[in-house]
């Protein structure tokens, strides 16, 4: 085995050991930071979405005009809407739509953005310039405005909504992946891998992706709340999920005209959106504090100063 290969393996093991230590620190912090417990709320919503047909008291699209716009009762815990549909059932089934759309959006946007960022960082030259210009052009528009324009052009549907929200998030992940790849590619163990003749795809899979995963995960955890918010806003405007499919933003839109006379129709879906977004933001902050090296450095410097 050549000296360059030994150097590559030693440096890679050192990097993996640092990642393992960060994971152990994150696991210890779980018991001390209350923000981590917001994950339990998120898990509860995920389980509710999975078991929606089992725990929902009524079908979400069941019309019952004789019980239209009723207040909370033993039969309907959160009341009914203007068509007599059970609000709780629609919120539970709406969890499926909101969480699945947000998850697919982050997954597609993250994968495409990461690939573009790595290609730009490794190719350099005119390929890097073209990708960077496209990313900068997309980032010049507010995300919601760009998503609104894309959905309006493609037409209102769940598929088009996912495409629009994914496109909006591609430049965010591309910029992060490019910056992180440039930093990792300058490390000694990557240079040793090149010298030893390791194929590029193996370097990317073994050295680049594992080391840029943490900042991408932090971004995904934070971005999913914005994806849910954008999805709800577009559905509220009638450009997302179409009736009679239950969705939180569309439910808020349906309830706004009854806000003075039947306010409970607004409370359920609006409060659900608030709880999910706050939980995701707090949980995302906790993940960032544990996985972001810059945050870790600031915490270490603060502790050293106090001591």
Question: What is the rounded distance in angstroms from the CA atom of residue 262 to the CA atom of residue 106?
Answer: 36
Give the model's pLDDT for residue 240: 85
Neighbouring residues of 107: CB distance < 8 A, sequence distance ≥ 6: none
Question: What is the rounded distance in angstroms from the CA atom of residue 77 to the CA atom of residue 273?
Answer: 18
Q: Where are the alpha helices (DSSP H) in the chain?
A: 3-29, 38-50, 52-55, 87-123, 125-139, 143-154, 158-185, 188-195, 200-203, 209-236, 248-255, 264-291, 293-306
% residues pLDDT > 90 (the chain): 36
Question: What is the rounded distance in angstroms from the CA atom of residue 274 to the CA atom of residue 113?
Answer: 28
Question: What is the rounded distance in angstroms from the CA atom of residue 74 to the CA atom of residue 72?
Answer: 7
Q: Does the pLDDT of residue 249 top 50, yes or no?
A: yes
Per-residue pLDDT tens over the stretch 167-197? 999 999 999 999 888 888 887 777 777 777 7
Per-residue pLDDT tens over the stretch 250-272? 999 989 888 888 888 899 999 99
Q: Does the pLDDT of residue 135 top 70, yes or no?
A: yes
Mean pLDDT computed over every residue of the chain: 83
Give the model's pLDDT for residue 303: 38
Per-residue pLDDT tens over the stretch 96-120? 999 999 999 999 999 999 999 998 8
Per-residue pLDDT tens over the stretch 33-58? 777 778 888 899 999 999 999 999 99
Stretch 129-133: mean pLDDT = 91
Question: What is the rounded distance in angstroms from the CA atom of residue 61 to the CA atom of residue 178?
Answer: 46
Q: Is the dihedral of CA 185, 107, 171, 98 positive or negative?
A: negative
Residue in 65, 112, 57 with CA at minimum distance from that of residue 87: 57
Q: Does the pLDDT of residue 1 top 60, yes or no?
A: no
Assigned token pair, 81:
């809407």
Per-residue pLDDT tens over the stretch 54-89? 999 999 988 888 888 888 888 889 888 888 899 999
**Angle CA(18)–CA(193)–CA(170) in degrees, nearest 5?**
70
Domains of the chain by range and CATH? 3-306 (1.10.3720.10)
Residue 29: pLDDT band with limits 50, 70, 90: low
Question: What is the rounded distance in angstroms from the CA atom of residue 117 to the CA atom of residue 17?
Answer: 26
| Radius of gyration of the chain, Cα coordinates, nearest whole angstrom | 23
Give the model's pLDDT for residue 193: 77
Question: What is the rounded distance in angstroms from the CA atom of residue 181 to the CA atom of residue 35?
Answer: 30
Give the model's pLDDT for residue 82: 87
Give the model's pLDDT for residue 50: 93
Q: Does the pLDDT of residue 235 top 80, yes or no?
A: yes
Give the model's pLDDT for residue 19: 62
Give the model's pLDDT for residue 174: 93
> Which residue has better confidence, 299 or 266?
266
Q: Does the pLDDT of residue 220 top 50, yes or no?
A: yes
Residue 297: pLDDT band with limits 50, 70, 90: very low
Neighbouring residues of 61: CB distance < 8 A, sequence distance ≥ 6: 85, 244, 245, 246
Contact 120, 131 (CB under 8 A): yes
CA dihedral 123, 128, 130, 133 (to 10 degrees): 160
Q: Does the pLDDT of residue 12 top 70, yes or no?
A: no
Phi then psi for residue 255, to 5 deg, are: -85, -15
């Amino acid at each position: 085995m050549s000296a360059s290969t030994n150097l590559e393996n030693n440096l890679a093991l050192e990097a993996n050991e640092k990642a393992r230590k960060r994971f152990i620190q994150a696991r210890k912090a779980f018991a001390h930071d209350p923000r981590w417990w917001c994950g339990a709320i998120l898990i509860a919503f995920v389980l509710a979405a999975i078991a929606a047909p089992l725990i929902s008291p009524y079908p979400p699209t069941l019309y019952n005009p004789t019980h239209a716009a009723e207040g909370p009762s033993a039969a309907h815990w959160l009341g009914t809407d203007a068509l007599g549909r059970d609000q709780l059932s629609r919120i539970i089934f709406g969890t499926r739509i909101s969480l699945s759309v947000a998850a697919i959006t982050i997954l597609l946007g993250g994968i495409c953005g990461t690939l573009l960022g790595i290609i730009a960082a490794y190719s350099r030259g005119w390929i890097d310039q073209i990708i960077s210009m496209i990313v900068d052009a997309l980032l010049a528009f507010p995300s919601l405005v760009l998503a609104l324009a894309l959905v309006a052009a493609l037409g209102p549907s769940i598929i088009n909504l996912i495409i629009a929200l994914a496109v909006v998030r591609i430049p965010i992940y591309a910029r992060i992946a490019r910056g992180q790849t440039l930093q990792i590619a300058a490390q000694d163990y990557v240079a040793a891998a090149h010298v030893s003749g390791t194929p590029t795809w193996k370097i990317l899979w073994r050295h680049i992706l594992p080391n840029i995963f943490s900042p991408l995960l932090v971004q995904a955890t934070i971005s999913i709340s914005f994806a849910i918010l954008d999805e709800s806003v577009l559905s509220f405007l009638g450009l997302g999920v179409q009736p009679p499919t239950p969705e939180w933003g569309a439910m808020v839109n349906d309830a706004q005209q009854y806000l003075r006379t039947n306010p409970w129709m607004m409370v359920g879906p609006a409060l659900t959106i608030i709880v999910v977004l706050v939980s995701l933001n707090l949980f995302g902050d906790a993940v960032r504090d544990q996985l972001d090296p810059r945050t870790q450095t600031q915490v270490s410097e603060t502790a050293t100063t106090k001591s």
